Amino acid sequence: MKSSFREVQGAAALNGSDPRLDGAGIALGMIGAVLFSMKAILVKMAYDVVPDLPAVTLMVLRMGLSLPAYVLILLIARRAGEGRIGTRETLAAMAAGVLAYYVCTFLDFQGLKYITAQLERLLLFTYPAFVVIFGALFFGGRITRAGLASVVLAYGGLAVVFLRGDITQSDNLWLGAGLILLCAALFALFQLIAKGFIDRIGARVFTCLAMIGAATALFLHFFVSSGGPAGMVAALRLPREMWVIAAALAVFCTLVPSFFINIAIGRIGAQAVAILGMVGPLATIVAAIVVLGEPFGLWDGIGTAITLLGIGLYTYSSARSKRERPRQT
């Protein structure tokens, strides 16, 4: 545990954060990861209540309940003089939000119709592999041997799960897995983009702008696909259990963790947040078994452990290489 803490501290120093804030950054990152991981559990519960519920409808309920808080927080932040940027950069931040909180969320919610919550979280957790690829292709990064070996190890663990595991039981396994992997790839791209915005305008303003941008695209999608006002009326008539689940998604799996994660990225950096994010799949596994009654066998455990080890080694080797680079110059 002490060595993990030192790894996070090293990643924090790389990103120019104040070491005195590491404790808060670590706590926020871990809590945010756990809360975000519970999203899959609640979405599966929603589909149990209304099996034919369109993904976009559930997204609208979630966003509609959380959006007023984002608007209010943005107004408070602007009044305090935070994140004063021009129209062009504001639109860019909102566009980043469309990518992460509209496109990625739609792919995620749709994929959860076909695969278990445990497999969804495990597939999403491989997004650092895409960070490696996109970082090398578009952001001037480089792929090291250690990083490549870690990625291969992580996907080797997934191969074990797919070949022998119980959590892959699904009639549309490849469709669901493909949607979640695409979500992971796009979310990795968002992570690379988000750091620059957070450094310039702060986590609070960026999060609000990103969510408002996503909400705009989402409400337009819902209005067109559901037949306009009639679709909204139908959504309002959903069972009470659905509204309780939507409220939990809005507050505990959207509003709170979105700020926690972005603040943690700003304080200790994306690498450290990725290390802390390893608690997310573990929390999902426990909740899926206890709450949803999903299966989890020996080979699932072995494959999951290998995947978590691969991603953990990647984040460690990446942070270590960044620490050592200044010494070589």
pLDDT at 243: 94
Is 260 a domain residue? yes
Helix axes 127-138, 145-164, angle to 10 degrees: 140
Indicate whether 318 pLDDT > 80.
Answer: no
Indicate whether 198 pLDDT > 60.
Answer: yes
Identify the weakest region by mean pLDDT among 5-19, 67-81, 120-134: 5-19
Indicate whether 241 pLDDT > 50.
Answer: yes
Identify the weakest region by mean pLDDT among 1-15, 33-47, 117-131: 1-15
Is 329 a domain residue? no
Give the mean pLDDT of 256-272: 79
**What separation in angstroms does the CA of 325 have from each of 70, 93, 213, 318?**
39, 31, 37, 11
**What separation in angstroms does the CA of 206 have from each of 83, 95, 240?**
8, 11, 33
pLDDT at 109: 94
What total number of domains does the chain contain? 1
Q: What is the pTM of this model?
A: 0.80
Q: Determine how many CB atoms are found less than 10 A away from the CB of residue 241.
A: 13
Is 29 a domain residue? yes
- Give the residue carrying structure tokens 């950096």: 269
Q: What is the dihedral of CA 277, 279, 282, 286, to 10 degrees?
A: -120
Is 229 a domain residue? yes
Q: What is the dihedral of CA 277, 281, 286, 290, to 10 degrees?
A: 120
Cβ–Cβ under 8 Å, residues 32 and 267: no
Angle, CA 271 vertex, CA 265 and CA 273 arms, to 5°? 50
Residue type at 54? P
- Give the residue carrying structure tokens 């409808």: 57
Is 328 a domain residue? no
Indicate whether 21 pLDDT > 60.
Answer: no
pLDDT at 22: 64
- 145 vs 214, more confident: 214
Is 178 a domain residue? yes
Residue type at 194? A
The parent domain of residue 250 ranges over: 2-323
Indicate whether 12 pLDDT > 60.
Answer: no
Is 249 a domain residue? yes
SS3 string, 69-131, reads: HHHHHHHHHHHCCCCCCCHHHHHHHHHHHHHHHHHHHHHHHHHCCCCCHHHHHHHHCCHHHHH
Share of the chain above pLDDT 90, in %: 41
- 293 vs 8, more confident: 293
Indicate whether 289 pLDDT > 50.
Answer: yes
User: How many Å apart are CA 165 and CA 78, to the nearest integer?
Assistant: 50
Beta-carbon contacts of residue 117 (< 8 Å; ≥ 6 apart): 40, 41, 43, 44, 284, 287, 288, 292, 294
Question: Per-residue confidence at 255, pLDDT binned at 50, 70, 90?
Answer: confident
Is 15 a domain residue? yes
Give the mean pLDDT of 15-38: 73
Helix (H, G, I), strand (E, B) or coil at 53: coil
